[in-house]
Structure 1
Amino acid sequence: MLSLAAICQCRYHRAMTDLHDNGETPSLNVFEPLRRALSERYLTYALSTIMHRALPDARDGLKPVHRRILYAMRELKLSSTGGFRKSAKISGDVMGNYHPHGDAAIYDAMARLAQDFNVRYPLVDGQGNFGNIDGDNPAAPRYTEARMTAVAEALLDGLDENAVDFRENYDGTLTEPIVLPASFPNLLANGSSGIAVGMATNIPPHNIAELCDACLHLIKVPDARDDTLLNHVPGPDFPTGGVIVEPKENIAQAYRTGRGSFRVRCKWEVEDLGRGQWQIVVTEIPYQVQKSKLVEKLAELIQTRKVPILADIRDESADDIRMILEPRSKNVEPEVLMGMLFRNSDLELRFSLNMNVLIDGVTPKVCSMKEVLRAFLDHRREVLQRRSQHRLEKIDHRLEVLEGFIIAFLNLDRVIDIIRYDEAPKAALMAEDWGRDHVRATSEADYVSPLPATGEGELSEVQAEAILNMRLRSLRRLEEMALVKERDDLMLERAGLEDLLDDESLQWGQISDQIKETKRLFGKDYPGGARRSVFAEADEAEEVPIEAMIDREPITVVCSQMGWIRAMTGHIDLGRELKFKDGDGPRFMFHAETTDKLLVFGSNGRFYTVSAANLPGGRGMGEPLRLMVDLPNEADIVDILIHKPGRRLLVASTAGDGFIVSEDEVVAQTRTGRQVLNVRGEAKALLCRPVTGDAVACVGENRKVLVFDLDELPEMGRGKGVRLQRYKDGGLSDAITFTLSEGLSWKDPAGRTRTETDLTEWRGKRAGSGRMAPRGFPRDNRFT
């Protein structure tokens, strides 16, 4: 789109020109509403994008750039049986003669027409590197060569017979076709995609033989329902194959409305390796998926352990697709593994359908399959009528010439005399009365110039010119017989064409014959003509719990004071001495299983979730926990817990605020974690304790203890919480929940457990100040 400055400058120059033409003195102040100026120009740009760039024509299924490429190749005589020409020559001719855009864009469009993994029926036969399914770019156009395929020639068939209208090219020096004759519904056969202004199109490829059957059915039953067409065209047929697992009713609905989507999966099989070992081999991938990026994604799933039952991925592809997926254990179900990969990679995707096309090359419309096929058939009928009318005109011209030839043969001596002796033979031939007898002149003196014609044998200018251009070797008796036979044959053909043009049923009959011939040429016997995509019934890939993907094994989780975490195989003695980095030591150490989820509570009030199966092995020092979650450098690890669904947690900050939260609400799905406890200023998250019992005990930095009922604490999903204990100076040191009837326990400095059952002195309401701790209470003001 033009910039605002360019628009204003154009308006200024136009206004100045108008003033000069009217003899007025131009003023520097030109006023026009900006809204109107922008809307006019944007509308022009939008229409140009829609009609001449992004949307295909429903009749031949091509965008202007593709149509111009094929027409230029035809002008260069690059037939499917001829030689190749450099791609640089082709793109240069297209750019110079028909398409005023960059050569790179033209070459990219031409290269795509040659890629059998992008186009169901390639229109360009490429020689050289035209790219591959891994996403590698084609070689430079000076290295590659191209010519048309037989399929492209079928689109151009009849172009010399006035089958379609032509228009001038961009500089008015040449002409180009507005649309191609198109012997088959290329829009559906090869599909199309594009983004215009305010609209887009995305049409999958289909099988030509099936489309031909649908066209024949539509000719036979013009009012056929959309559903009956699905008996002939069950769905897309992608160049890369794959398995379409969309329900039939959804496919039918998409084709009825012109909008929808198709769920496409890769084609895979289980390969037995013997001794109970197996591997999965992927032989076809979904349409428009780059294999290299797919392999990278699968490798990323292995590295991040999002699919822990996948051990390795290998790409053994050559000319065909062969991707090897190795399971981590032979006990894994192949269906479970593929189900996880379908959910987390492009081994399954949805291909959207949006049949937004140009009707008659002008009007954009979202069409149903029936409407697209009807537009093609109506175009074929118009092409047939125009070609028949063109042939009729050719026959009339030839019959006129033949009549002249026959007259010449019947009066051969007189024709020879006129050509030999007359100074104006053409005029003499036209003036001669060929209905009377003629006497052969023996010399120029005996030659009598023709009188004005009075009989029925008068020759036209076309006939006279043809006689004068006749070769001497044609003046044979056999040639005369051939002319008479040709005239009779042409008269018979002419009568047939007149009947054809007058009878609609004959027209549809001939169109049916043409479509049957197209099906024979490009059907199952054509290389790559058989259906590639197959159909299957499958439910949506469900989320598989991690427990179902991981072998349940005991581990011991160890996290150091510096935040280095590891998982040691088995449940080892928690009192065992372990090796740590210099200056580091143990902080958290507990037994778990590989199927567990670990909840990490940070001093910033966020909960982070880590799968125990993803922890590094215990042979080394482990890895920093911050590499697994996005824990800020200024935040510390407050606690690490094993996630137990349905459990409740007590969370509190150093400011003395806290609340109860359901453990199910703190599980995070991303590395960034989930904010639960809001902390401000210098306050930090202090503790996270499982809720047990019916009472809460708090101790502050001032060594005052407060005991109150658990019911006084609210249960929240996120927030600052409520005040647990009131302080004049300092903040909260510790808090726990317990059963009041069992008493409050703590360990004294000697390591002995002491229990206080009579807590009357410390009982109070929430947010009270409390009383001094009992004698023997730990000096660090901690219950545990």
Structure 2
Amino acid sequence: MTQPAVSGDIRDTSLSEALGERYLAYAMSTIVSRSLPDVRDGLKPVHRRLLFAMRQLKLDPEGGFKKCARVVGDVIGKYHPHGDMSVYDAMVRLAQDFAVRYPLVEGQGNFGNIDGDNAAAMRYTEAKLTAVAAALMENLDDDTVDFRPTYDGSEEEPMVMPAAFPNLLANGAAGIAVGMATSIPPHNVGEICNALTHLIAAPDCAIDDLVRHIPGPDFPTGGVLVESQAAIHEAYRTGRGSFRLRARWEVEKLSHGLYQIIVTEIPYQVQKSKVIEKIAELLNDKKLPLLADIRDESAEDVRVVLEPRNRTVEAEMLMEQLFRQTDLEVRISLNMNVLDRDAVPSVMNLKQVLQAFLDHRMEVLERRSRFRLDKIERRLEVLEGYLVAYLNLDEVIRIIREEDEPKAVMMRTFGLTEVQTEAILNMRLRSLRKLEEFEIRKEHDQLSAEKSDLEALLADVGRRWSTIASQIAATRKAFGPGTPLGDRRTELADAPSAVVVPIEAFIEREPITLLLSEKGWIRAMKGHVDLLDTVKFKEGDQLKLALKAETTDKLLVFTSDGRFYTIGGDKLPSGRGFGEPLRLMIDMANDAEVLCVFAHKPGRKLLLSSSGGRGFVVEEAEVLAQTKSGKMVLNLGDGESAAFCLPFEGDAVAIIGDNRKLLVFMADEIPLMARGRGVLLQKYRDGGVADIKVFTLAEGLSWKSGERTRTEQDLTPWLGKRASVGRLPPTGFPRVNKFT
């Protein structure tokens, strides 16, 4: 059997090394070529290629529209070899005035809406560039930026746009790369221009000085920004943070003292239909007792009508409830992770982002000036040749008519360059008019003056910064306050009071009795029930524990894996039937068992202990869980399980082990922690903890002995330090080693 022919270089490489090398290449490709914007023009490659392709198609703001399918075809065929729908989706977003603060594409047709409806197919829609996009690509043909070959080498594309418009902050960006992400909300371009002007005038200014010019994001859908000034300053200082954004609403008075609430603006990137659907769902579930009805009366504007239950309901309280439970209030994250001019990703603060834009504008100005200077010098060379020809017109004509090599003779006779001679030989006869000579001299003088001006500009850095400041002022005038897009849309308001109306305040308070069976079925019977003998369970099941509570209570569930879960008393299934499995309400591990269920009491402390005798004290507020997955509080060692959770009320702790050794020590020896494994409470050679009790030392230690309760007042023999071994309990202590 013949061996197959082998060609090329074959190297032995470990699988991990080969995978690591290829994954790194993939990660860098995703970071640089897909997900993160460039700090200079604020564009990702797909957006840059879209705009460049539209420019090549001459879809200028003053021109006509062309089908989006034509644009998408050019983009994926020449510049961006990806799926047509991904390119079209990117194009659609650039045209949506509710998604982009300053749209870069002007669409004609159905480009979607704020309710989340999709745009029409690309064969139906048309588009062209906006004035903002034109400003981004201003002077693109003047050697202001570098170009690179496209993916197939057939054409060239810009590596970055000249960016006369501060697009990164103005329109923001969002993207998820490999191991990193970016999230930059949009801002007001007038405020950005003010900050840029201030930074030019005072390069060493503090970030707080810039924040005075850019007080916060400005979203295309408006809304009310209710973040504290300290949090905003910190976010811009570090490049990371978040902003709290609320819907804008107003009270509309009706007759007879009635009113209704009108929501006129919803938060950024929130679908109006989804919010209304969520509110309607909460209404049906009777979780909005202050709200009677909701209607959507929106046309092109947003008008969502909320009807209160009655005229006595306070509008602020109703809206506070909606802000807590719906997307009428959202958090917009800030993570200014961008690519610098060397394509290196980094998280920049506000000043670094603004300075990077100014540095780019300086580079564009210098390159454009040199490009223009080079063109002027070449034109002046030609004009000087023309002037020589006019001064010696008869001799030039004779040489052209009589000499076999007129070009060489003219260069030798008049000392002309090859470029000048070619220009003279290519001159039309009509250019020999006397008037033409005056025009040439006039153009020569104008270009000479412009050349001197450009040379002075390139030699004076202060003058260049003044020029950039003038360009920024022009941008502010074109797109800032007073223009259709320029006025601030998002209102800046004070942060709401830390005193927030709790959801429990809106739940009707009723007594309930919680029942949990041995097999994990849970239900709530109305009222506080004492006689539970008549309660029925599934065959083979029985009562594990009962708890009297209220519908407004937060019920804490502690399981054997050291995790706490929180369930609202109003969310328990009805006492009719057998209830529901507890595991459907919380994401409890399959091998975990419920140790105890109790109602949360604010301000109380709990003593937690594992079966190995390690534990600590925790504030009860620290164990409240916000999700179904619960909150891990007690960490466990190998072979251990959570064993005890009891109120920490007293000044002493009594603990007895499986070895029947009793130890009493002072409660202040146990540390207060939020999470962890804790400290050793009692030392064991074999076995673990059997029971724990927190009590008041002056009152003595009590335990159940049959039907009676016995109390030991003198505990001196058993009193010691935490983590001691202890000694045998008093005579008469139960053989089961339990205090109750």
The TM-score normalised by the length of structure 1 is: 0.68
Corresponding residue SS for 1:339? helix
How far has the Cα of 1:92 moved from its partner?
1.0
1:64 and 2:45 aligned:
yes
Matched, 1:109 2:87: no
Residues 506 and 765 of structure 1: CA distance in aligned 2, closer, same or farther (over 3 Å) = closer
Match of 2:373 among 392, 399, 405: 392
Partner of 1:338: 319
- The alpha-carbon deviation at position 643 of structure 1 amounts to 11
**How far, CA to CA, are the matches of 1:291 and 1:361 in structure 2?**
41
1:359 aligns with 2:337: no
> 1:375 maps to which residue?
356
* Separation in 2, partners of 1:58, 1:65: 15
Contact 2:512/2:551 (<8 A) preserved = no
Q: Counterparts of 1:598 and 1:179 in 2: how far apart (Å)?
A: 57
Cα distance, 1:673 vs. partner? Answer: 12
Structure 1 residues 328 and 541, CA, compared in 2 at 3 Å: closer, same or farther? farther
Q: 1: distance between equivalents of 2:625 and 2:376?
A: 81
1:344-376 Cα distance to aligned partner (Å, 9 max, x none): 111112111111111114211111111111111
2:227 equivalent in structure 1 = 246
Answering whether residue 181 of structure 2 is matched by residue 200 of structure 1, we say yes
Compute the displacement of 1:133 (Å).
1.6
For 2:118 and 2:512, the matched residues in 1 are separated by 50
Q: 1:136 aligns with which of 117, 141, 148?
A: 117
Question: Paired residue for 1:535?
Answer: 492
Q: CA deviation at 1:646?
A: 12
For 1:390 and 1:185, how far apart are their aligned partners in 2?
23
**Residues of 1 paired with 2:348 and 2:7: CA distance?**
43
Once the 2 structures are TM-superposed, how far is the Cα of residue 609 of structure 1 from its aligned partner? Answer: 10
User: Could you tell me how far 1:191 is from its partner in structure 2?
Assistant: 0.8
Q: Distance in 1 between matches of 2:72 and 2:506?
A: 53
Q: Which residue of 2 aligns with 1:431?
A: 409
1:462 and 1:545, CA in 2 relative to 1: closer, same or farther beyond 3 A?
closer
Q: Is the 8 A contact 1:226 1:369 kept in 2?
A: yes
State the Cα distance separating 1:229 from its structure 2 match: 0.5
Residues 672 and 622 of structure 1: CA distance in aligned 2, closer, same or farther (over 3 Å): farther
Residues 1:261 and 2:261 are matched in the alignment: no
CA 1:669–1:76: 2 relative to 1, 3 Å: closer
- Name the CA distance, whole Å, in 2 between partners of 1:197 and 1:184: 29
Structure 2 residue ranges without an equivalent (≥5): 1-5, 516-520, 528-548, 558-563, 587-597, 605-619, 632-688, 692-705, 710-731
The letter for the 1-side match of 2:490 is: S
- The partner residue of 1:480 within 437, 440, 448 is 437
**Structure 1 counterpart of 2:106:** 125
Q: Do residues 468 (structure 1) and 425 (structure 2) align?
A: yes
Q: Do the aligned partners of 1:309 and 1:550 also contact (CA within 8 Å) in 2?
A: no
Instruction: Say whether the 8 Å CA contact 1:629–1:673 is kept in structure 2.
Output: no
1:490 to 2:471 alignment = no
Whether 1:93 aligns to 2:74 is: yes
Secondary structure of 2:213 counterpart:
coil
* Superposed CA offset, 1:275-309 (max 9, x none): 12222111111111122222222222222233322
Q: 1:305, 1:614 within 8 Å by CA — same for their partners in 2?
A: no
Residue of structure 1 equivalent to 2:719? none
Deviation, 1:642, is 12
Tell me how far 1:49 sits from its aligned partner: 1.5
Q: Given the alignment of the two structures, is residue 317 of structure 1 paired with residue 298 of structure 2, yes or no? A: yes
Pair 1:299–1:387, CA change in 2 (3 A)? same
One of 499, 503, 513 as aligned partner of 2:470: 513
Query: Using the alignment, how far apart are the partners of 2:50 and 2:625 within structure 1?
Result: 54
> Aligned equivalents of 2:253 and 2:578: distance in 1?
37
The separation in 2 between residues aligned to 1:270 and 1:63, in whole angstroms, is 42
In the other structure, the counterpart of 1:293 is 274
The answer on 1:76 being equivalent to 2:57 is: yes
Cα distance, 1:98 vs structure 2: 1.1
Label 1:429 to 1:362 Cα distance change in 2 as closer, same or farther (>3 A).
same
Aligned counterparts of 1:169 and 1:566: Cα–Cα separation in 2 = 67
**Contact kept in structure 1, 2:573 and 2:579, CA below 8 Å:** no
Kindly state the Cα deviation for residue 172 of structure 1 after the two structures are TM-superposed: 1.2
AA at the equivalent of 2:333:
S
Contact 2:399 2:410 (C-alpha < 8 Å) held by counterparts: no
Change (3 A) 1:566 1:57: closer
What secondary structure, in the 3-state scheme, does the structure 2 residue paired with 1:499 have?
helix
Per the alignment, do residues 541 and 343 of structure 1 end up closer, same or farther by CA in structure 2, a change over 3 Å counting? farther
Question: 1:235 aligned to 2:216?
Answer: yes
Q: How does 1:640-659 map to 2 (within 5 A)?
A: none
Alignment of 1:755-774 (within 5 A): none
Instruction: Note the alpha carbon deviations across 1:653-692, whole angstroms, 9 max, x for none.
Output: xxxxxxxxxxx99999999999xxxxxxxxxxxxxxxxxx
Deviations 1:57-114 (A, max 9, x none): 1111111111111111111111001011111111111111111212111111111111
2:338 partner SS: strand
Specify the SS of the correspondent of 1:260: strand
Q: Give, in whole Å, the separation in 1 of the partners of 2:624 and 2:57.
A: 66
- What does the per-residue CA deviation read over 1:525-559, in whole Å, with 9 as the maximum and x for residues that have no partner? 3212111111111336755345633678x9999x9
Aligned residue number for residue 669 of structure 2: none
Q: 1:185 to 1:643 in 2, by over 3 A?
A: closer
DSSP-derived class of the 2:330 partner: strand
CA contact (8 A) 2:39 2:339 kept: yes
**In the superposition, relative to structure 1, how do residues 310 and 596 fare at CA in structure 2: closer, same or farther (>3 Å)?**
farther
How much has 1:501 moved relative to structure 2?
A: 0.7
Deviation at residue 339 of structure 1 after TM alignment:
1.3
Counterpart residue number, 1:725: none
Asked if 2 retains the 8 angstrom alpha-carbon contact of 1:244 and 1:536, the reply is: yes
Q: Which residue of 1 aligns with 2:611?
A: none
Q: Which residue of 1 aligns with 2:392?
A: 411
User: 1:570-611: CA deviations, max 9, x gaps?
Assistant: x9xxxxxxxxxxxxxxxxxxxx999799999xxxxxx99998
Once the 2 structures are TM-superposed, how far is the Cα of residue 405 of structure 1 from its aligned partner? 2.0
Bigger radius of gyration: 1
Is the contact made by 2:132 and 2:165 (CA closer than 8 Å) also made in structure 1?
no
- Residues 567, 615 of structure 1: 8 Å contact kept: no
Partner of 1:42: 23
Report matched runs for 1:664-703 at 5 Å. Answer: none
Question: Quick one: structure 1 residues 111 and 415, their matched pair in 2 at CA, closer, same or farther if it must change by over 3 Å?
Answer: same
Partner of 2:140: 159
- Distance in 2 of aligned mates of 1:225 and 1:67: 32
Q: Which runs of 5+ in 1 are unaligned?
A: 1-11, 17-29, 434-451, 572-591, 601-606, 631-640, 648-663, 675-719, 723-736, 741-763, 769-784
Matched, 1:55 2:70: no
Is the contact made by 1:280 and 1:325 (CA closer than 8 Å) also made in structure 2?
Answer: yes
Supply the distance in 2 between the matched residues of 1:44 and 1:369 (Cα, whole angstroms). 30
The amino acid that maps onto 1:431 is V
What is the CA–CA distance in structure 2 between the aligned matches of 1:466 and 1:599, rounded to whole Å? 92
**Aligned residues between the structures:** 627
For 2:505 and 2:347, locate their aligned partners in 1 and report how far apart those are by CA, in whole Å: 45
Could you say if the C-alpha distance between residues 509 and 624 of structure 1 is closer, same or farther in structure 2, counting changes exceeding 3 Å?
Answer: same
SS in 2 for 1:275: helix
Bigger drift between 136-145 and 515-524 goes to 136-145
